Structure 1
Amino acid sequence: MSTIYLVRHGQASFGTDNYDQLSETGREQVRQLGNYFAGLGERIDRIYSGGLRRQTETAEIIAGSFAEAAPPIALEPAFNEYDSDLILHTFARSLTPEQLAEAGWPGLRTDRRKFQFFLERAARAWVEAQIEAEEMTPWRGFHGRIVAAMENIMRSEGRSKTLIVSTSGGVIGTIVAHVMGLSNHIGIELNWAVHNASITRLIYSADKVSLSLFNGLPHLDRAELRHLITYR
């Protein structure tokens, strides 16, 4: 049997000019996660990372926790998150001026609650193929590239391996829904539940893959660290 730990990146820099980088809270979340992995005494054979900066930063911090035993990092763009800005703008174009004003568009980046509500509506429309744009990957393409990448990793890495995938909530929700045989709608709903720097664990063999942990935070489950638990 082999193990894949799906790790959501640490908290990104919401509300700043560059969202795609870890905040200081995000870096501390991942340092705690890296220390947790290193303390398990378990060999990590490889870390796969999406190509987004918040994902690669997360992978680098985790690898650095192993010092001279640091596992190699392999970039895999298939684990990039969906383009939320493109989905939001495409969805916004489908609404009336009155609907946009009611939602608070376009000033959502300063209000986490309103932003999350609008993003959930936009993501549902994307999954249901109610919105489209020439430059936007459709849901079926997003799902397909992730599943293909996971299957390739399991096939190429073989047996008795322990791997980490540094990625994002939408990717993790999609993988979990696929493994559990759940609908696409459930996959995107799971996305909203995934904490920053959380662990989702898959166990796989040549002919089967199973979910053994979803959205765990064992590295932050202490009173003095619980302030580091975040969703966004």
Structure 2
Amino acid sequence: MGAIYLVRHGQAPAHAYGVGTATGDAPGLTDLGFEQARRSGVLLAGMVPAFDATISGALPRQRATLQGVMAAFDPRPEHVVDADWDEYSVSDIVAGSVDAATYADRAAYQRLVDTALSDWIDGTTTGDESYAEYAARTTAAAQRAADLAGSGANVLVVSSAGTITQLLAQLWQVPPQGWPTLSRAFVNASVTKVISGKRGLSVVSVNEHAHLARRGEGMMTYR
């Protein structure tokens, strides 16, 4: 039985979500995000002796998190980039750009995204990618990771809250409109474990973040 460890990316700067203008060499993570990724690597190194395969989406915050996690491991398998693990594009589904003030107001930003996601799922609004296409590529990416996990391998996947919870929603048969609720409380650099066996994928643990929740350290963030 193989295991897939799904890590949400660490804290990312505002430009990662379409707020403001990013320069070509802008980092994928904040300084805190890099530390979150490093701590998740230490956690995982205490759980598995090594990873047989490592995968991330193509987004800078995902690639940088994988590098931070794998700093705790030696040897390190080749980093495979699979863009099907990318998050949906907020700027694609939200009508107009998100200004800095709205992004800074967590409740206002969440309301904006929730409304946009509901319309996107219903097909009321469409962008470069439909909700059905997004769900299908998540399924395909998970199957490729399961194939790598095989009957006894450990696979690391770094993705985003939306895509990780999209997979969980599929495995738990959560209706599409209920999927966004799963991602709201996902912690940056949290760890979710899925096992791959004869009956397919099964969820073992979700959103593990105790390694980031030590009192007074301020390590736990949500975006």
Are residue 26 (structure 1) and residue 30 (structure 2) matched?
Answer: no
For 1:193, the aligned partner's letter is A
Are residue 17 (structure 1) and residue 21 (structure 2) matched?
Answer: yes
Q: Using the alignment, how far apart are the partners of 1:132 and 1:156 within structure 2?
A: 33
After TM superposition, give the deviation of residue 224 of structure 1 in Å. 4.6
Q: Using the alignment, how far apart are the partners of 1:83 and 1:132 within structure 2?
A: 11
Q: Using the alignment, how far apart are the partners of 2:99 and 2:80 within structure 1?
A: 38
Q: Give the structure 1 partner of residue 220 of structure 2.
A: 229
Q: Using the alignment, how far apart are the partners of 1:86 and 1:214 within structure 2?
A: 28
After TM superposition, give the deviation of residue 195 of structure 1 in Å. 1.0
Greater than 6 Å deviation, 4+ residue runs: none
Q: Using the alignment, how far apart are the partners of 1:21 and 1:173 within structure 2?
A: 21
After TM superposition, give the deviation of residue 110 of structure 1 in Å. 3.9
Q: 1:190 is matched with which residue: 182, 185, 189?
A: 182
For 1:39, the aligned partner's letter is G
Q: 1:36 is matched with which residue: 43, 68, 72?
A: 43
**Sequence identity of aligned pairs in percent?**
27
Alignment of 1:211-230 (within 5 A): 211-225=203-217, 227-230=218-221
Deviates more, 1:50-59 or 1:158-167: 158-167
Are residue 171 (structure 1) and residue 163 (structure 2) matched?
Answer: yes
Which structure 2 segments of 5+ residues have no match?
A: none
Query: How many pairs are equivalent?
Result: 216
Structure 1 pair 116–59 and aligned structure 2 pair: CA distance change class (3 A): same
Deviates more, 1:212-221 or 1:170-179: 212-221
Contact 1:5/1:164, CA 8 A, preserved across alignment: yes
Contact 2:8/2:191, CA 8 A, preserved across alignment: yes
Q: Using the alignment, how far apart are the partners of 2:60 and 2:99 within structure 1?
A: 27
Secondary structure, in 3 states, of the residue corresponding to 2:151?
Answer: coil
Alignment of 1:112-127 (within 5 A): 112-127=106-121
RMSD: 2.2
Which structure 1 segments of 5+ residues have no match?
A: 94-103
Secondary structure, in 3 states, of the residue corresponding to 1:81?
Answer: coil
